[in-house]
A and B are shown apart, each in its own frame.
Chain A
């Protein structure tokens, strides 16, 4: 007995080590793929047409993306119905409706190149089971597929197909807890690299180190001032963490809006809080579009609007437990 016991322990230890050694590379692989996809989304030059579908609604858009020495440029143009266009030059975002420019603003987030951060990856790994799926073909390209399956019903499943060579996302599905596709996006035609039309890019100043620094400073300042807003969510859905809190201008509104952002590593939820005005009270309740939910409610004379790519119950849990805790 005294001989077999250490042998047993050794056997268990070896099994454990072997399991870890076999499990880890796979885990690394899938997370590595997500990193590659995030990198490709911002560093690849491409141009193509994609289809976006939810419920009975289908629309196609043309997309062009160029990453150059002077930063990142993206252009999104709707091909159905009224022409809508969004042009993004680094942190400058312009929207057009028909031939009219409706908005031009600077992203206060300071995330010109959003990439999956290590903390975000571990959060993602806590909330989702990442599995490789059968390889496929999308828009004529060979694609690797991964499934991100949530560990609870507070978030949706995501299935993604990425170009095997570049890692560019070619197709994405969002599935509800019963496995039904509630929203999808897929390229139908795509050109990666090569000669891509750049005429639409407004020649602007490149992002200098000093301006980036200034920006980071202003973001930090905004976050500091926002952190004192006093609003808190008592029953934050499991797995979500606060990633930002800012006070900002929104659209044509005169007064500032507080934006608090929560993330589970993949899905995001924004909580907007502003002084309630008469005309804003007309649309309380829940509205949805594919995976995106919007819920608004008046709490203590403040209009609260929650936006997130999460199931209705998650959005509602946040609205229902939001309160002003004072400063």
Chain B
């Protein structure tokens, strides 16, 4: 029997002999087991790195032993997980905004200027600065906005003081 299987694997059987052996493999569990073992041996000899271990029968047995549970899934645990995730995301967002405003307050990295959203910026009010009016007046002389607004463009200088 084993000689026949070995001959089949090596392709040395005639067609009618092979057909007969295939029928036997289907019906005889021992022959089937021998077929699998022979293949495992040949795999191990050729490719020791990729040994195909037959776990199908043991897995099938354990699956059959497993009881089938027909019950609704508990929702409370799921909700709690979602809440924890969204809370974590909010904290992360808050930290990011706080960090960004700190960056604005001190010295921002060049690439930061491109990414900032206006809402993250908390500019100080003008009135806290002395001597600022000189800059505003000087800017107003050149700014193209004065072309359309004329004298009214000076409204921005000294405002809020």
Contact = CB atoms under 8 A, between A and B. Distances in A.
Given A169-B149, A312-B118, A111 B141 contact: yes
Contacts of A84: 158, 161
A76 B155 contact: yes
Contacts of A57: 159-160
Interface stretch (B18-26, B43-51, B104-112): B104-112
Interface in B119-161: 121, 123-126, 128-139, 141-152, 154-161
A313 B155 contact: no
Given A52-B155, A287-B128, A289-B126, A82 B116 contact: no
A276 interface: no
Interface string A308-327: 11011100110011000000
Interface residues of B, number: 49
B63 interface: no
B151 A63 contact: yes
B125 A65 contact: no
A285 B105 contact: yes
Interface stretch (A13-21, A203-211, A257-265): A257-265
B143 A50 contact: no
Given A251-B131, A307-B139, A313-B114, A76 B152 contact: yes
B151 A261 contact: no
Contacts of B105: 285
Contact of A107 (B124, B133, B141): B141
Nearest to A73: B151
A30 interface: no
Contacts of B71: none
B148 A267 contact: no
